[in-house]
Amino acid sequence: MQGLRADARGDLHSLSPREKVVARCAAAGARNKEIASQLCISEGTVKLHLFSRLSQIAVTNRVGLALALGGLGSKP
């Protein structure tokens, strides 16, 4: 899979429930500002979740994120 490390699916389980919700929103196409408004958090917090913490699962873009999240089921 392009944009996704082979062991990234296992790494996804280490994300907090909030990080998973942010990741799912981003993977669904929501913009950072929309995610922030929906979750009542700052846009800066959304960026931290997406770019700091999610970098540890080696996802390089939102398409890779969507592919990685496909293996987690529907619960955050």
Find out whether 57 and 47 touch, Cβ atoms under 8 Å. no
Residue 71 reports pLDDT greater than 90:
no
- 12-68: per-residue pLDDT in tens? 777 888 988 998 898 888 999 999 999 999 999 999 988 877 777 778 888 888 887
Residue 4 reports pLDDT greater than 90:
no
Residue 36: the pLDDT is: 97
When the candidates are 1.10.10.10, 3.30.230.10, 3.30.70.260, 1.20.1560.10, the CATH number that belongs to 8-69 is 1.10.10.10
Find out whether 61 and 1 touch, Cβ atoms under 8 Å. no
Residue 45: the pLDDT is: 95
At 72, is the pLDDT very low, low, confident or very high (cuts 50, 70, 90)? low
Domain range list for the chain: 8-69
pTM for the full predicted model: 0.71
